[in-house]
Chain A
Amino acid sequence: AQSVTQLGSHVSVSEGALVLLRCNYSSSVPPYLFWYVQYPNQGLQLLLKYTSAATLVKGINGFEAEFKKSETSFHLTKPSAHMSDAAEYFCAVSDVGSGNTGKLIFGQGTTLQVKP
């Protein structure tokens, strides 16, 4: 069965510092991978997706993620944190076994705190 593990439920960084949010997945076949952000009382917004093209994926708001098959990882990074980046971040993998790429398996989420 596929699964997603996000290491660290809370990450705190200073404004301007590097953001690194970790995500590891398990899948028997090459998956589609996603990072979503959720602001309070709002729905999930797509940051970026990996769909077996380039392994380094650039997303919105300066975020990027690198697909590393050997490590089964898809960590999210941003070189310089901004106060507006404070939110909940979710890594997700598509359930390729079902043939339905909208059926996602989400990690538990990581709360990013940005300190001034």
Chain B
Amino acid sequence: GAGVSQSPRYKVAKRGQDVALRCDPISGHVSLFWYQQALGQGPEFLTYFQNEAQLDKSGLPSDRFFAERPEGSVSTLKIQRTQQEDSAVYLCASFFRGGSGANVLTFGAGSRLTVL
């Protein structure tokens, strides 16, 4: 597609529920990133994929967070047993090449998760 598409745009979950957030990157983009943006803060790195390989998951805050990209295109971020501190906007971004060089990320509009 023309841009990075994320769904749902808004999600309200009760504490303890599982949620899944989808990212459809720009067609052909090799690299895909997930960031978490808490209210009033800058985005923070969660995880990175090159094609289907998850090369860096150092930013995932707990083992309740899981991401996958099985066919090297669409990615899903799953949060199990959601907690209130998980409330944030989850941003997906992609770029064409691998991780080196002066690549520029293209961001999606984000998925806003509110945990009650």
Contact = CB atoms under 8 A, between A and B. Distances in A.
A99 B55 CA distance: 12
Contacts, number: 69
A contact residues, range = 20 to 34
B62 interface: no
Given A43-B109, A49-B104, A102 B91 contact: no
A44 B91 contact: yes
Contacts of A11: none
A106 B33 contact: no
Given A45-B107, A90-B43, A107-B42, A101 B101 contact: yes
Nearest to A98: B56
Q: Is the interface of A mostly helix, strand, loop or mixed?
A: strand
Size range of the chain B interface in the assembly: 20 to 34
B93 A106 contact: no
A41 B109 contact: yes
A103 B33 contact: yes
A43 B100 contact: no
A34 B105 CA distance: 10
Contacts of B44: 106
A102 B102 contact: no
B26 to A, nearest CB: 12
A72 interface: no
B100 A101 contact: yes
A33 to B, nearest CB: 10
Given A42-B109, A43-B110, A102 B31 contact: yes
Interface string B86-116: 0000010101000111111101111000000
Interface of A: 4, 32, 34, 36, 41-46, 49, 51, 90, 92, 95, 98-109
The 9 closest A-B pairs by CB, nearest first: A106-B42, A43-B107, A100-B99, A51-B102, A44-B107, A43-B109, A106-B43, A43-B108, A109-B42
14 contacts: A4-B42, A36-B107, A43-B93, A43-B108, A99-B99, A99-B100, A100-B48, A100-B100, A102-B48, A103-B33, A103-B45, A103-B48, A104-B105, A109-B41
